[in-house]
């Protein structure tokens, strides 16, 4: 069956360290993968999109990698800050190259401590 897995346990790190979140998927062949941030009681906010032919993408302190062989994406936040504390969701398109019907993972909660 199709599945997207993110670490269900919260990730606790110290301010200034790099946070690394993992997204693994099975039985999909997505054309791209997206990462969203979600704060409690709010809708998700788009962060980054990486395409299947891209290995790595960066935006400010954020970096995403996409390994279609391993069926895995890693999401890094460098020089983390308490304001980065949130739940981070990965999402991929169910139908490669389709109209971007997104399938989301359950998310990983990140807590950055001062």
Partner 1 sequence: DTGVSQNPRHKITKRGQNVTFRCDPISEHNRLYWYRQTLGQGPEFLTYFQNEAQLEKSRLLSDRFSAERPKGSFSTLEIQRTEQGDSAMYLCASSFLGGEQFFGPGTRLTVL
Residues that bind partner 1 (CB under 8 A): 4, 32, 34, 36, 41-46, 49, 89, 91, 94, 99-107
Nearest residue (CB) to partner 1, 79 versus 106: 106
Give 55-64's long-range contacts (Cβ < 8 A, gap of 24+).
62/35, 64/33, 64/35
Q: Shortest CA distance to 24 belongs to which of 110, 98, 106, 86?
A: 106
Nearest residue (CB) to partner 1, 40 versus 114: 40
Nearest residue (CB) to partner 1, 13 versus 49: 49
Minimum CB separation of residue 20 from partner 1 in Å reads 19
């Amino acid at each position: 069956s199709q599945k997207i897995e993110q670490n269900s346990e919260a990730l606790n790190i110290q301010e200034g360290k790099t946070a690394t979140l993992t997204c693994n998927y099975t039985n999909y062949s997505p054309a791209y993968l997206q990462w969203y941030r979600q704060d409690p009681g709010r809708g998700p906010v788009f962060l980054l999109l990486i395409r299947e032919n891209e290995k790595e993408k960066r935006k400010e302190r954020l970096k995403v990698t996409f390994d279609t062989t391993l069926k895995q994406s890693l999401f890094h936040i460098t020089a983390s800050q308490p304001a980065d504390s949130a739940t981070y969701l990965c999402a991929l398109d169910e139908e490669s190259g389709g109209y971007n019907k997104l399938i989301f993972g359950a998310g990983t909660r990140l807590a950055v401590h001062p």
